[in-house]
Amino acid sequence: MKKKRVKLITGRTIEQGMFIEHKTSKEYFDATATCFMNERLIKELDIEDYVKVNTDIASIVLRAEREKGIPKDLIFIPMGPWANFILNIDIGLSGMPSFKGVDATIEPTDDRPLELKDLIGLYKG
Amino acid sequence: MRVITLNLKYDGSIPVEAETITPDSFSDKSKEEIEELSLYLGNKVVKLREIFDVSVEGSNTGIDDVKIIIKGNAYRIKRIGEGMTGGEILVEGNVDMRCGSMMRGGKITIKGNADSWTGQEMVGGEIIIEGDAGNYIGSGYRGALNGMSGGKITIKGNAGLYLGEKMNGGEIVVEKDADMLAGLEMSGGKITIKGNAIMPGGEMTGGDIIVMGTVIDRLPTFKYLGKEIIDNANFEKYVGDLAMRRAKGSLYIKAP
Amino acid sequence: MNELIIKNGIVFDPLNNIKDEKKDICIRDGKIVDDVKNPKILDVNGLLVFPGGVDGHSHIAGAKVNSGRLIRPEDGRRSLKPKTSITMPSSGYSVKNVFSEGYDYSIMGYTTVVEPAMPPLSAIHTHEELRDIPMLDKLSLTLFGFNWFVMGYVSRGEIDKLAAYVAWMLKRTRGYGIKIVNPGGGENWKWGKNVDSLDDQVIHFGVTPREILNDLMKVNEILDLPHPIHVHTNKLGQPGNYNITVDTMKLASGFETQRGREPLHITHVMFSSYGGENWKTFDSKADEIAREVNSNKFITVDVGQLMFGDTTTMTADGYLEFNLQKLTGFKWSNSDTELETGGGVTPVIYSPTVPVNVIQWAIGLEAALLINDPYQVWLTTDHPNGAPLTRYPEIISLLMSKEKREKEILQVNNAVNKRAILPSLDREYEWNEIAIITRAAQANSYQLRDKGHLGIGADADVTIFDIKPNEIDPSKDYDKVEKAFSAAKYTIKGGEIVVKDGQIVKVVSGKTYWTNAEFDEYYELIEDDLKDWFANYYTVNLDNYGVNDVYLTNPCMIRTNPTIGSRVRLA
Amino acid sequence: MIIKNVVCPFCGSLCDDLTVEVEGNEIKNVDNTCKLGYNKIVGYSHGRIEAPLIRDKEGLKEISYDKAIDEAAKILCNARRPLMYGWSSTTCEAIEKGIELAIKIGSLIDQTATVCHGPTTLGIQEEGKPSCTLGEVKNRADLVIYWGCNPFHAHPRHMGRYSTFTKGYFTNKGRKDRKIIVVDVRESDTSKVADIFLKIEPGSDYKIINALTSIIIGNGDILPEEIGGISKDRLEYIAGEMVNANFGIVFFGLGVTMTGVKDKNIGSLSRLVKELNRNTKFSLMPMRGHYNVSGAGNVFTWLTGFPYAIDLSRGYAYYNPGETTANDVLARKEVDAILVVASDPVAHFVNPSIRRLAEIPLIAIEPYTSATTELADLIIPVAISGIEADGTAYRMDEIPIRVKKFIDSKFKSDLEILTDIINRIDRYE
């Protein structure tokens, strides 16, 4: 399976904001369980619809979506529970977790993103 | 010499604030009085004896011949040695944040790792960290003008970010690597990094930073002054940070 | 009925001409009365009794103060005090949290404090903080000095509209009076510039500081506002500014008020009494300033005393803060407010070894010592600009003792002997004069008829200091004076003992005064202008602008009579 | 009924010109709003939690309001290191009450700036905040820089109302009177409308800001030919644009606060603006996210002396982000109970922090099903501030505006619920 190192950034999008009060809605899921990537990156890795993003603490499966303006070595995930599942914090510094500029690898996958309930379920136990 | 041994029996994850563990505070107290000292565990007060078993050997005439030994993993004991003026503390394991902050004299040795803000605003004395150190070692408080202004900190392992932030006196030696922005905003004193450093000297206006390993991502706002020999080794000397007015900081990077 | 009698105190009550008199004070239901039936007795046996203190100029609330707190956590961590069973946690030395402000004032015997700089657009913020300050009665002055409406009406000579606008704004912001900071100059600072004289033009608006001051002084009279215009002069904080200060004072000379009172107050005059051409030739011109005050009954001033140490400066004069920051290199905040005002904050360290700071220190004391009528000079530090409010006791002891001053002069840079006149001044303040400059003068100037005195009907705000005026000599026992003023034996607020032996024993919330100067059809005069300018140039809707009584603790409206001036000096 | 000049309780732009149509006790329509505000206001009744819920082995079950308050009081009283978190989407009045509760129980209290503009606070605590109100920008700004932010998505009306397209007193030609620069690591809808787009390498903000400062103070000659993906010539050109503006402003967002050296980016940005003021007039402004996050910072500051991340466990306020911030104390497993008000930390905190949230008693005062309610042990439904409850909020430029109530709710407000908890604790003591 092809793998590639990228920088991960997360951030707001209007869709993420529009459905932020409706976390269990399909719209919120569509808006946030998604990874935006440069078209060339998608081609290079033979990604079809879904992508697995790995960081030093966890992995997550997201829907892959093309975006023109994004550099080839960067991926963008809207802020929310899916992005945060793979993010960490440098304790004893500024209190701000690492939401942007995080080292990650990506790879194609046939798996599907978890629903919110199941994703949160991973934290239990 | 009077040796007071504190055997840690607490293993919770809520940190204990123990700024009263100093030679100054223990110097004139009996074992029983030491056991009755107040520590802070979350929003409740606890007695020192609830956290540590205390044993005392020998006697002392002043603060300088008091030695405190802390046994066990004190990674959740904060503020040990805060403001101490003399004597000695030996931490046999790890220690939590702000150990030796505002220290004025004496010596603290940490056999394990030290967490962030160790030696914050320290004025004098010596801290030796045999393991790794967290962030903001020897730094200043949020918004304060100055960090460490005297004394010496030695880190035998790696140092975290913002080592010696706002430092304006004293000395820090790191045997291994320092993470981003060592000597950030420093105005005096000396930092020696024997391993590698990332972006050292950001916004520095004075003092010396010596990097014996490799500098990763050297900041563009430093001016190259030429070669200089320190202790028989060749260094490249830079002045900066020229993003600041009147900047006179010296950054020495070992010549390849 | 809640009754209290304070027996055997040595009372100084200047507004009622009571001086050094052993006298009982009777209190019922929060007011001073002539006698009581079943009172609680407080025998104070020869101790010094003053009316509750009134600070007429202290930055305690609002956007600037909070911005000072925000950028100075290192100041916040000084003076941390834990909560007690009745008090909330305190923080801060020069920029205190709201609780600490109330407690610290109360402990020193103060009961009423004026926040002197309220930006209208953030008036809610000022009042939210005032509401949360315990222990004190409060009032705030609304900023007008480079407001676009004001400058527009001044430039067009529309004095009636100007009056209507001021009345509307005071009501809308729940303000007490007119504050003017760097008239006109503040607008120029919004382009990075300033004014240099009373006759400089404000960029684009075609008006001068002189015109702004003159017209607002007139409006103040027309509206019968209780307090004169309260002016922070142009070029404040710059060497050689005493000229513009004297020029500003002269604007009031002979100004006809129907009320026989002064029309102009110059605030923190220390910062406006500078000679020299630059910081190297900087010297004291307190004598020139005092000469003008002594010959001009139309003005009052407050000192703005500087004390050595670390503090935070804050003012609506953004240009001043920017320049101060250029000298120190310290952190700096600026806050220009659309159409209205501006402001800045920067920390400063006043050092007894720095010639400029030593001369500044001397100037304040010189002004207090050279001005003859204590009703014309209130004691302030312009908290926290000259020094934090907690430094008052030290200043009082300096004013009362030449010996103490001489001792201090020996400790500071020698510039004080060369470029100031303090060493030559012999005057020592008496108890009665201290009562005037910390109480009576302010209450009088704000026409707070229930405050600053102990006459029948006054609010029962009383301070009892742990010192016997007949047994000590303040010129020698200055340490005792300082100690006594640092921690009141008793502070009585609205008839209740709130401080005992320097400790808060009861937490109360005070009143908030504001001035209603409405007149017939005042709103109609300016309605079109308001709607037009709000729609086009503000970013907040007219409907959503301003404050209502929800934000005030115990609101206390002062109704004026805009055509007939009737309020006169009490004494 | 048509209600005019309604204040939008969504983002830090705090637009106060909405028109809401209410019929009976239902919202029929909203005008003058962006998609974010529209969805929040029109969608206010969807997916509400209908009654207090408590979690047992089988899951969530309904309890009475009184019992819920009782449980909340018990959890908070029994905690040794409680954390109270949220606050940015409620009124200042509720926040004040929250701090009163935190003082009473000796709690840590933090607000959402901790994962947003917390680094901005740390930066300005070192260097200060030269700023202004949004109307100053509207009336004067001829140079507007958006750095690491994307207002088209996060603050959709910002450019139209305050900075770019609007006309002001000295900018009566609107967009034509202004130059717009966007700095970002990727193209965005905002960069598309810019006159100049500076596409920088991720994490290079600190170097680029300091390089600009060095050019402005006359030390530019030492710079290398390229910094952070931008040529030296281009940086000199940008510095020239800054110096030559009559009134410039930098709006910055999480692209700066969350990247690289985070808080140090902001300190440097503040110093750059300070230096620019020796040449012209310049300001900076953080693009605050939630509609009252600025108010939370203000209330925290005037009540305790510090803006966020406050530890009240010893009876006074101790502040040290990195030590007392929510994610640090959670990831270190210090916290043993949490009260969440007006926020969704399970959606916006990072993995190690959420693991702790799953382990400890979690009380959520929350109107909707959220990621946090998925983990909550006790949920108290609440009226939505700015729609069903009034009070004060602060815009991103620190201007306070009173948000309105235009719908009656069967739920109590944050303020009322917190008051009830305090009263219940008083009864126990």
The string of pLDDT tens digits covering residues D351-373 is 999 999 999 999 999 999 999 99
Flag the least confident range among B180-189, C280-289, C559-568, D207-216: C559-568
Q: Which residue in this structure is represented by tokens 């004095």?
A: C159
Q: Does A80 touch chain D (CB under 8 A)?
A: yes
- pLDDT at C571 (0 to 100): 31
CA-wise closest residue to D369 among D334, D344, D402: D344
Beta-carbon separation of C76 and D306 below 8 A: yes
Provide the pairing of β-strand B233-240 with B223-230.
Answer: antiparallel
Q: φ and ψ at D137, to 5 degrees?
A: -65, -50
Q: Rounded distance, CA C79 to CA B63, Å? A: 28
Q: D325: burial class by Cβ within 10 Å (0-12, 13-18, 19+)?
A: buried
Q: Which two tokens stand for residue B193?
A: 């990094």
B44 CB within 8 Å of a chain C CB: no
- Determine contact: C82 vs chain B, CB below 8 A: no
Cα separation, B189 vs B229, in Å, equals 19
Separation CA A102–CA A5 (nearest Å): 10
* Contact check, Cβ <8 Å, C74/B245: no
pLDDT reading at C564 higher than 70: no
B111 CB contacts (<8 Å, ≥6 apart)? B90, B91, B92, B93, B130, B131
CA separation (Å) from C370 to C279, C373, C475?
24, 9, 18
Average pLDDT (B30-52) is 98
Q: What interface predicted TM-score (ipTM) does this complex get? A: 0.96
Query: What is the β-pairing status of strands C18-28 and C31-33?
Result: antiparallel
Nearest CA-CA distance, residue D392 and chain A, Å: 21
Write out the two tokens for D246. 């009559």
How close, in Å, is residue C72 to chain D by CA atoms? 6
Q: Which residues of chain C lie closer than 8 angstroms to D126, CB-CB? A: 331
Instruction: State whether B144 and C74 contact (CB < 8 Å).
Output: yes
- Write down the pLDDT at residue C307: 98
Distances (CA, A) of C139 to C55, C112, C515, D298: 10, 8, 10, 21
Interface membership of C73 toward B (CB under 8 Å): yes
Of C108, C227, C285, C72, nearest to D307 (Cα)? Answer: C72
Is C83 a residue whose pLDDT tops 50? yes
Closest CA to C140 of C101, C179, C166, C175: C175
Q: Residue D113 above 70 pLDDT?
A: yes
Neighbours of chain A (3+ CB pairs under 8 A): B, D
Average per-residue pLDDT in chain D? 96
As a whole number of angstroms, the distance between CA B12 and CA B14 comes to 6
Nearest CA in chain C to B245: C329
Find the mean pLDDT for residues C390-404. Answer: 98
pLDDT number for residue C102: 98
Q: Which residues contact C524 (CB under 8 A, 6 or more apart)?
A: none
The band of C239, judged by pLDDT with boundaries at 50, 70 and 90, is very high
Chain A CB contacts of D122 below 8 Å: 94
What is the DSSP code string of B162-198? TTTTT-EEEEEEESS-B-TTTTTT--EEEEEESS-EE
* Predicted pLDDT of residue C1: 67
- Burial bucket for residue C129 (CB in 10 Å: 0-12, 13-18, 19+): buried
Would you list the DSSP string of D138-170? HHH-SEEEEES--HHHHSTTHIIIIISS---SS
The whole-angstrom separation of Cα B143 and Cα D286 is 19
Task: Tell how strand C48-51 and strand C3-13 pair up.
Answer: parallel
H helices within C371-471, ranges in order? 392-400, 402-411, 415-418, 431-435, 441-445
Q: What is the mean pLDDT of residues C513-520?
A: 94
User: Which of C266-291 are b and which e, b meaning 16 or more Cβ less than 10 Å from the residue's Cβ?
Assistant: bbbbbbbbbbbeeeeebbbbbbbbbe
CA atoms of B101 and D377, how far apart (whole Å):
39
Tokens, residue B247: 């900047």
Strand partners, D22: D27
Tell which D residues from 214 to 253 touch B, by Cβ distance under 8 Å: 214, 217, 219, 222-224, 227
Say how far apart CA C34 and CA C557 lie, in whole Å: 26
Q: Which tokens hold the place of D277? A: 């003021």
Q: Which residues of D touch A101 (CB under 8 A)?
A: 202-203, 258-260
Task: Tell whether the model's pLDDT for residue B109 goes beyond 60.
Answer: yes
C88-146 pLDDT per residue, tens: 999 999 999 999 999 999 999 999 999 999 999 999 999 999 999 999 999 999 999 99
Give the pLDDT mean for D320-349: 97
How many whole angstroms separate alpha carbon D78 and alpha carbon D91?
Answer: 27
For D348-366, give one letter per residue: b (16+ CB within 10 A) or e: bbbbbbbbbbbbbbbbbbb
**Among A98-102, B86-90, C394-398, the least confident range:** A98-102
Please say if the pLDDT value at position C202 is more than 70.
yes
Residue C143 CA to residue C186 CA, distance in Å, equals 11
Determine the 3-state secondary structure of C202 from DSSP.
Answer: coil
Work out whether strand C3-13 and strand B215-216 pair parallel, antiparallel, or are unpaired.
unpaired
Q: What are the mean pLDDT values of chain A's consecutive 10-residue runs (125 residues total)?
A: 91 92 93 95 93 96 93 94 96 92 94 96 88
For residue D282, pLDDT beyond 80: yes
* Mean pLDDT on C342-370: 98
Q: Is the pLDDT of residue C569 over 70?
A: no
Averaged pLDDT, C198-204: 97
Do A93 and B117 make contact, defined as CB atoms within 8 angstroms?
A: no
- Name the residue in chain D with its Cα closest to that of A124: D358
Min distance D281 CA to chain A CA atoms (Å): 31
| N residues, chain C | 571
In chain B, what are the domain boundaries? Answer: 1-112
User: pLDDT class for C504, splitting at 50, 70, 90?
Assistant: very high
- For chain A, the distance separating the N- and C-terminal CA atoms, rounded to the nearest angstrom, is 31
On average, the pLDDT of chain C sits at: 95
For residues D166 and D160, the answer to whether their CB atoms sit within 8 Å is yes
Domains and CATH numbers, chain A: 4-122 (2.40.40.20)
Kindly report the backbone phi and psi dihedral angles of residue C41, in degrees, each rounded to the nearest multiple of 5, phi listed first: -105, 130
CB contact under 8 Å between B116 and A93, yes or no, is: yes
* Binary contact (A11, D322; C-beta < 8 A): no
Q: Measure CB to CB from residue B14 to each of D81, D206, D224 and give the nearest one.
A: D81
Which domains, from first to last, does chain C contain? 51-448+457-504 (3.20.20.140)
pLDDT band at residue C353 using 50, 70 and 90 as cut-offs? very high
Q: Would you place residue C568 in the very low, low, confident or very high pLDDT band (cuts 50, 70, 90)?
A: very low
Burial of C31 (0-12, 13-18, 19+ CB in 10 A): middle
What is the C-alpha to C-alpha distance for residues D396 and D418, in angstroms, rounded to an integer? 26
Instruction: Give which of C121, C124, C116 is closest to C181, Cα–Cα.
Output: C116
C339 and C538 Cβ atoms separated by less than 8 Å: yes
Given a contact cutoff of 8 angstroms between Cβ atoms, the answer to whether C81 and C146 are in contact is no
Q: Do chains B and A touch (3 or more CB pairs under 8 A)?
A: yes
Q: Provide the token pair at D179.
A: 């130059």
CA-closest candidate to residue C328, choices C302, C303, C357, C307: C357
Residue with tokens 């750059």: D272
Q: What percent of chain C has pLDDT over 70?
A: 98
pLDDT at D428 over 80: no
Contact A101 D350 (CB under 8 A): no
For residues B159-187, average pLDDT: 97
Q: How many CA atoms, within 13 angstroms, populate the side-chain half-sphere of residue C268?
A: 31
Nearest-angstrom CA–CA distance, C296 and C471: 37
Q: What is the pTM of this model?
A: 0.97
Helix axes D232-244, D205-216, angle to 10 degrees: 60
Judging contact as 3 or more Cβ pairs under 8 Å, the answer for A and C is: no
Q: Which residue of C has its CA nearest to D392?
A: C124
Rama region for C471: left / alpha / beta (φ>0; ψ in -120 to 50; rest): alpha
Residue C566 has pLDDT above 50, yes or no: no
C89 touches chain D (CB under 8 A): yes
User: D319 — contact with chain B (CB < 8 Å)?
Assistant: yes
3-state secondary structure (DSSP) of residue D62: strand
pLDDT (tens digit per residue) in D141-173: 999 999 999 999 999 999 999 999 999 999 999
Q: Of all residues in chain C, what percent carry a pLDDT higher than 90?
A: 95
Q: Does D375 touch chain A (CB under 8 A)?
A: yes
